[in-house]
Amino acid sequence: MSSASRFVRLILTEYGYQTDFAEEQPWENRRDFLALNPAGTLPVYVDDSMRALCGATVISEYLDETHGVLKRDKRLLAEDPFQRAEIRRLVEWFLLKLEQDVTRPLVRERIFKLQMTAEQGGGAPDSKVLRNARANIRQHLKYLSWLAGSRTYLAGNRLSYADLAAAASVSVLDYLGEIAWADAPQAKDWYQRLKSRPSFRPLLAERVRGVTPVSHYADLDF
C-alpha cells in the first residue's frame, strides 16, 4: 500500500522489466533493509549488481535515463524540457502533497496501525486523522478532475510519469473505498483507462492481509 512503490512498479512493467518483488514493513527497521536505505523508506530498487537506489523520484529518473530514452514515443518522461518540468511537478503533487494530505494518514490509520505493535505505534485508528484526510480528498479530486478533463493525459497528449504517479496513489485510496467516483466522472474515466492497462493487472490482483478492497477495485468497468 505504498503509493511510491506502486509508481515504480508501474514504470518497471510499462518498460518491460523482469523484476522480483520483496515485501518490506518499514516500521520494523530491519538491519538488512537499513543497510540498503538508511532512511528506512520505500521504495528501494536493487539492480543485478546489488546496487541500491532509494526513493521514487531517484529510481524513476534512473529508469528514464537508462531505458526510457530508448523508447521514443513510448517514453514516460517527455523530451521537451518544459513538458518534463510539468510531468515532474505533477509527480511531486501526487507522491508528496496528496501523500501528505490524504494517502499516508489513511493508510497508516486503516492498515498499518493494525499490523504494528503498540511499541511501533499501532492501535485503534484516530478518528480525527481520518476525518481530516477525508476532507482533503475532495479538493484533490477536484484538481484531478480538472486535469483529466482538460488534457488527454494528465500532463499532456501522451501517457507519462504523471499519470502513473497519480494512478498509483488513487489505486491505494480506491482499494480502501475512499473515493466518491460519482462526484468526479472525468477523473473516473481517466482512471478507468489507466487501470485497464496491462501494467495495472498485478496491482489489481493483490490483496492486503485482513483488508478486503471495495467490490469495484479490480473491475475494469467499475
Q: Over the stretch 3-30, which tens digit does the pLDDT of each residue have?
A: 999 999 999 999 999 899 999 999 999 9
The per-residue pLDDT for 166 is 98
The per-residue pLDDT for 72 is 86
The per-residue pLDDT for 73 is 87
Kind and range of the H or E element at 8? helix 3-14
Whether the pLDDT of residue 91 is over 90: the answer is yes
First-to-last C-alpha distance (Å) of the chain: 20
Grid cell in block for residue 82: 518544459
Band the pLDDT of 221: cuts 50, 70, 90.
confident
Kind and range of the H or E element at 203? helix 201-205
The predicted model gives 94-113 an average pLDDT of 97
Residue 182's contacts (CB-CB under 8 Å, 6 or more residues apart) are none
Tell me the pLDDT of the chain averaged across its residues. 96
Three-state DSSP state, 71: coil
Whether the pLDDT of residue 158 is over 90: the answer is yes
Cα–Cα distance for residue pair 111/211, rounded to 1 Å: 8
The per-residue pLDDT for 202 is 95
Three-state DSSP state, 78: coil
The per-residue pLDDT for 168 is 98
Q: Over pLDDT 70: what percentage of the chain?
A: 100
Domains of the chain: 3-72 (3.40.30.10), 81-205 (1.20.1050.10)
Whether the pLDDT of residue 106 is over 90: the answer is yes
Per-residue pLDDT reduced to its tens digit, 161-208: 999 999 999 999 999 999 999 999 999 999 999 999 999 999 999 999
The per-residue pLDDT for 6 is 98
The predicted model gives 86-112 an average pLDDT of 97
Cα–Cα distance for residue pair 2/54, rounded to 1 Å: 14
The per-residue pLDDT for 191 is 98
Band the pLDDT of 222: cuts 50, 70, 90.
confident
